[in-house]
Amino acid sequence: MGTTTFFLRHNDLSKPLNKMGKEELEKLNNLSPYGETQHHAGWSVPFELHNGNTYALVFWKGRLMKIEDAPKVLNKKYYSKYQGRKVNEYEWTVLKKYLLAEVQRLDKEFKKFVRKKPKND
């Protein structure tokens, strides 16, 4: 059984992995999402996935998270860049609307595909 660790780069000022030295890579490798420090040199370790576990992941405004953690993390008012102000909805509510709309769109495509599929399968 293996573990997949996600390393997220915060900004363009942090050093890319291929340019880090051996000591820096060792420090980064020792980071854990369960430890006190989850950040080093502009990189963070938000979570680990273990083989056999399945999680739906959500990427929202530069943050990658499990969908179970999203309501707890996205608890701020949503800033609309088109209106130039915060709107009266939380980030989680806006993300939920986007996700539901995308699921409905994909469901329509799936239903079209199934109807066009030959019956001999």
Please report, for the chain, the start and end positions of each structural domain, with discontinuous segments joined by +.
1-54, 68-121
Residue 105: pLDDT above 90? Answer: yes
So what's the pLDDT on residue 40? 80
Tens of pLDDT, residues 29-81: 888 777 777 878 888 887 777 776 677 888 888 777 888 888 998 999 988 88
pTM here? Answer: 0.57
Calculate the dihedral angle through the C-alpha atoms of 49, 34, 43, 75, rounding to the nearest 10 degrees: 90
Are 3 and 51 in contact, with CB atoms under 8 Å apart?
Answer: yes
Percent of the chain with pLDDT over 90: 23
